Every structure is written in structure tokens, then in C-alpha cells.
Amino acid sequence: MEFEIASKGMLIEMILSSNAVYLQSGRLGERLKDDPNAPKIVAEVAATGFRPIWDKLFLKHLVREMKKEGLNRQQAKQAATAYIQEMRAVSQIRIK
């Protein structure tokens, strides 16, 4: 599967963190909320050593996007690093 890193990075991050992803068929533009009871499967995403590659790739793309928004190189790297840390902290929250 291919994903746009800049816009779907959080999705990729959550797949890597959980080592799994739900797959559900649908038409272009449909979302889970459109048919939450449609059949779906859970696919295991095994640890293959991709995590260090992903970490560098994700940071690089976020820095690039933040530089487009007007931040200088140092500011963009700091902001991207903070964003990733915050996103990972939020993704670890589980409802009990």
C-alpha cells in the first residue's frame, strides 16, 4: 500500500506502533463512518526493521512541509520533532 507521508504520516505511525491495521473495502471517498459494520480484517504488520527508516523519513518530510510554511531549517526541525513526540504521546492514550 502507498501513503502520502505528509498527509498520512499519523496513520503510518499508528500502524507501526500497533503492529496492525484494519482493512475494509470501500469506494473512493468512503470512510469508516459511512459503513462501520462492513466486513473488515485485521492485518498484522510485523516488525521488519523499518522503524528507524520510517523515523528518518517522516522527520525529513515534516521538516520539508514546515519549511514550506515559512519556518527556517532549525525551527522546522524543532517543530517537526515536537510534533512527532506529541503525536506519539497522544497515540499511546488508551480508553479503559
CA nearest neighbour of 24 among 38, 44, 4 = 38
36-85, pLDDT tens digit by residue?
Answer: 888 999 999 999 999 999 999 999 999 999 999 999 999 999 999 999 99
Query: With a threshold of 0.85, does the pTM exceed it?
Result: no
Name the helix (H) or strand (E) containing 89: helix 73-91
Centroid of chain to Cα 25: 20
Number of domains the chain contains = 1
Greatest C-alpha distance within the chain: 46
* Enclosing domain of residue 16: 5-91
Residue 66 near residue 79, CB atoms below 8 Å: yes
- Within-domain flag for 36: yes
Residue 10 near residue 87, CB atoms below 8 Å: yes
pLDDT tier for residue 96 given thresholds of 50, 70 and 90 = low
- Within-domain flag for 96: no
